[in-house]
Chain A
Amino acid sequence: MNLVTRFGEIEIEEKSCIQLKDGLVGLPQAKRFCLLSHREDSPFLWLQCLDEPALSLAVINPMDFFNDYEFDLQDADVEALGLTSAEDAVVLTTVTVDEEGRVTTNLLGPIVVNRRTLAAKQVVLSSENYSPRHLLFQLKPKPEGAAKEAGTRAA
């Protein structure tokens, strides 16, 4: 199917879709997603919604950044996802970049995907060890003002 996303029109194979039966937390209508790569050598991905094509969330596989990120999945979630082994679970966490250039990820609300069935669920951990805005790194401030000025002068 063709999808007009905020990055333009793309073609998507529906059979490779991740299915979140309950949608995302706070966005219950957003149930079907596909993963789009951000670009070469980037650890980031776009979690692109099929139900709302304008909705795409920046995500990472948190294991790329944190070797020690782990949590217990509730029995009900294990059942809902049809997971039979931990190796079948792929975890994604959302990423944000704020005005100050802080790149953070939400370790409190991971999205767990069964890689065999593509059934997925966003779980909310009760652990107080994990933050919804865990700092990945800080971007260096962009010399945006200077670049703009130079551009104006050149024009």
Chain B
Amino acid sequence: MLVLARKVGQQIVIGDQIEVTVLEVRGEQVRLGINAPRSIAVHRKELLEQVARENVRAAGVDRESLNAAAESVERPDSEDGSARSS
């Protein structure tokens, strides 16, 4: 991993098109400004990890669980029925 020390207001450039600016440092938090072409997705990594985890969990749903869930939806009058709006 390349490690660079930067001060507030300083930048790093990645390739020809991506600029990262250190905007603010406050305690343990760093605010970064990122200039990148729209075709380049910029994400907080933990959000990507959460979505990846949900994909794996959704692939682990078995048919019986989904049957039980569908029955709950079909009986929306039940106490714990769904919030399904028709």
Contacts and interface: CB of A to CB of B under 8 A. Distances in A.
Q: Taking each of A7, A27, A109, A133, which has the highest tally of chain B beta carbons within 10 Å of its own beta carbon?
A: A109
A112 interface: no
Interface string A88-112: 0000001111000101001011000
A41 B66 CA distance: 12
B50 interface: yes
Interface in B43-86: 43-44, 47-61, 63, 65-70, 72-74, 78-85
A121 B21 CA distance: 29
Contacts, number: 126
B70 A38 contact: yes
A38 B66 contact: yes
A7 B72 contact: no
A44 B10 CA distance: 50
Contacts of A74: 38, 41
A75 interface: yes
A80 B45 CA distance: 22
Given A108-B47, A140-B72, A25 B85 contact: no
Q: How large is the interface on B (under 10, 10 to 19, 20 to 34, 35 or more residues)?
A: 35 or more
A57 interface: yes
Contacts of A25: 48, 51-52, 55
A141 to B, nearest CB: 10
Interface in A33-79: 38-39, 41-44, 55-59, 64-67, 74-76
A103 B69 contact: yes
A95 B61 contact: yes
Contacts of A126: 43-44, 47
Nearest to B85: A67
Contacts of B67: 39
Nearest to B69: A103
A65 B85 contact: yes
A108 B53 CA distance: 12
B17 interface: no
B82 A65 contact: yes
